[in-house]
Structure 1
Amino acid sequence: MDEVFGEDSAFYSKAEVYWKQVPPTVDGMLGGYGSISNVDINGSKKFMQKFLGEGQGKTGNGFALDCGAGIGRITKRLLLPLFRTVDLVDVTQEFLDQAKSYLGEDGKRVENYFCCGLQDFQPQPSRYDVIWIQWVIGHLTDEHLVEFLRRCQGGLKPGGLIIIKDNVAYDGVVPDEVDSSVCRDLPLVRKLAQQAGLGLVHEEQQLDFPEEIYQVWTLAYR
């Protein structure tokens, strides 16, 4: 894996440089695939609604954290409609600045905009009902991903959930030199989450995406 990631500092700094050149738009956030946003959000809503509500195994709707939030596409379309308060964290300040206008009136229910790489981010203990981590785990080394997920577990309220939604390789680890990221296969994602001490609650594949892109899976952990 060291051959894939190289020097940690270079792996992260190259990604930061890449994202600073990306336009702060929905199309920019989705790598030119802005057309999949509706399908993505609808799939995520159906997934999330399995867990919201009262009773055993359900989670609250008070606080959510959007990791790798970009301009707030997921916050606006998924998290703010389902949760009372949302925090955003992203490594690119320009995206967070754009989010404040993009989110519109509902942005008043965003409490914090954290500009920080996830390898360094420390969620407030016992704050969140849901921590949503989408299309960003490939920007963390294996070691840092495990450490980040452990910190996220500490940031959950009782009954809270960590949701990972991301591209999944068919076999092994596929590096992307353009944005300085990797795409892991599903067994490795599961293994790293297990190393972080997380227990898998539910997983499913996102359907109806274009055939030419990676398969995308959503996994819920406690």
Structure 2
Amino acid sequence: MGKKLQSEGRLRPVDLARAHGLSTQAVRNYEEAGILPVAARTPTGYRTYTSLHAAALRAFLALIPGHGHPTATSIMQTVNQDGPEEAFRLLGESHAQLLDDRRTLQAVERALQGLEPATAQQPGAATGPASRFIGPLAQELGIRPATLRAWERAGLVRPRRDPHTGYRVYDEADVRDTRLTHQLRRGGHPLEQIAPLLAQVRAAGGLEPLAATLRDWHDRLSARGRAMLTGAAELDAYLRERAR
């Protein structure tokens, strides 16, 4: 029966599954989810697929690396519901997010380039290496203490309080975050954009580890951009197949 179906240009679920290293259940699940067009049925109730379904599956699997599983699913569902414009909108949102991620990376790189190595101790520092009280730190950066307090309220810096005096104490990590915030503010970035950048620094464990991960960050963005191109090509092929 399998050879007869193939000779007629029809494919069994297992044929489609094997060609992409999937299980037959996965193929059926994709159809039920609207990722693949609805399959025809034989008189005995077996699903049969065609080159159109194969093109849809190739497009979906190619879209996942660049757009993620949920977006790839939504794109295929809208296309199969004859809504290509909504699919194009979803593609555009993914590309916009990639551009935003690139800008984030560039902002971090520029900010890192503008930072000078932290000194071990400054006049007026609090106890501990590279610690500062708010006044000396503000003076060092050429800003007002009120600006530092505003950054604290925004959650960008989190100085501890001296248990005896109640004064804010900026330790080495706080000084780093403050200096990075200062650089980004000078570059025109609003506070709401700076918070995720500082999260990247903290997640990396500091400036030096972050600098070491920038190459990986570049590679991941490049791979994502390349995957988007591949996904777009396969989606275009599927749209052409549907238009026949």
Structure (1 or 2) with the greater strand fraction = 1
- What is the TM-score normalised by the length of structure 2? 0.18
Higher-Rg structure is 2
TM value normalised by structure 1: 0.20
